[in-house]
Structure 1
Amino acid sequence: MIYCLFLIYEPVNLDKSLLRLNRLLTLGGRKAQIIVINNGPQRQQVSRENVEVIQGDNRCFEFSGWEAGKQYIEKHYCLKSDDTFCFVNDTFDKNHYFSWLTVLLYHRKLKQAIKQYQGFILGRVDTRNIAYKVDHLAFTDWVSSYFFIVDYTAYQALVFTNPRLTDAVTEVTDESINFDSSVVDSAMQEHINGWLRPEGKGWYRAHTSNNDVIKNKSIAILHEKYLSAMLIAKDIALVHVYRGRFGRIVRKFDKRIQDYRVAKQS
């Protein structure tokens, strides 16, 4: 069984997203159970056999929402050691393009990871030649949190929220983001400022966002990095879905399609 915890806020086409998710999850004959975690203000109803909707928790954005979903399935389902778990937020179908090539790539990489590792997280792995530290955990690689899959061993090791990260953003101005240096090292501070308070064009048009939005995005980025750092510290393997020549071709193809979609909407 593969359990999918799908975190939503206000998706425009929830039925379409669920259809795409279900096709991906059930490829190869797997059984899938999708838990839609509603972190948005609107009530959501879904009439699909293998889909449940629960209320989320937005204290730490998608990370506290996933934590609520994790607690829910542990309470209501009998989990097994050969189960896998997929964590998704609603940007997977909004800010990214999942072609059938990507679906097949995930399917193939998941089968390989199950055979090769006891304890893995599969997704898009970002790598820097810089050692970062978040809450004293060192790392150079992390998995993008919009879509990732873990086996049962890694699932048990997941830590989604850390109150020290929420309190680590001490001040946000129009020019910079300041952090508690005992929690976030200088390299990670520079990394986040480079994304959200750059001199030129920033991530997700961040340079135009107000200070409260920037603070929330900073906290979310810290939790994303901490998620991977904690797994690395527990000897969980980070498996890059796009590793290899074919993976690079697929990623480039999907990015071109997504860029076209964005250009068409603007």
Structure 2
Amino acid sequence: MIHRRTAVALLASPPLLAGCGGGAEAGERRTPPTHPAPATPTAEVQAEQAPRGIPGLGPARSAAIPERCGQAVLVTGRGKDSPRCTVVLHQRTATGWQAGPAWPAHNALRGWSGHHMLGDLRSPLGVYTLSDAGGLLPDPGSKLPYHRSAGFHSPGTGFEGEPLDGCFDYVIAIDYNRTPGTSPLDWTRPLGPGRGGGVWLHVDHGGATHGCVSVAKAHMKELLRTLDPDRHPVVVMGYAGWLAA
């Protein structure tokens, strides 16, 4: 018997060796390298890169702050009918608004009103310029025009029997129903006397006010030394829910 052997040829391709930076073999077409397209920033990154706004302010209140304004005193009331609030000075920087420390403060006895009237014991909601300052005591270094006068004497007691003496040692006039560029003691009322006036930032006496906003004397001095007419300061004031709109 004849046995046939089937010869099987094993074909093997020699391995291709590639070194660091090795070039292609002669006659081989080389595909040019491709570069990935720049990544689109994620929403989170875009939010981080966006200028910082003032915390607690919604789009309507933020839009009411003039573009040229570089300083904003934010007064945030605890509630529509509460006499307690918090004051924070914000300063505009290249990356957005920078907040200072939060100061405890008081506003009017019955809270806030969108249509302030004389004697309603509510502070007016709104965004108002800050143009003039003054007080019973000598100028502590105010950048705003400072009007010193004995007319800032404050006798009597507050709603809880606390003495009012010294609460007008330093004041900053809030430009609600007044003529900017005059003493805080000026009684001109462009909206009429029935709409009230004489709404100030002043020294806290430990209780609710008739319509003003009051902070500690040290904080009033800091505001006077910091608020700069060249930076067009404003006060943004109201209870938290209204501010967030």
If the length of structure 1 is used for normalisation, what is the TM-score?
0.24
Pick the structure with greater CA Rg: 2
> Which structure ranks higher in relative contact order (CA pairs < 8 Å, sequence separation ≥ 6)?
2
If the length of structure 2 is used for normalisation, what is the TM-score?
0.26
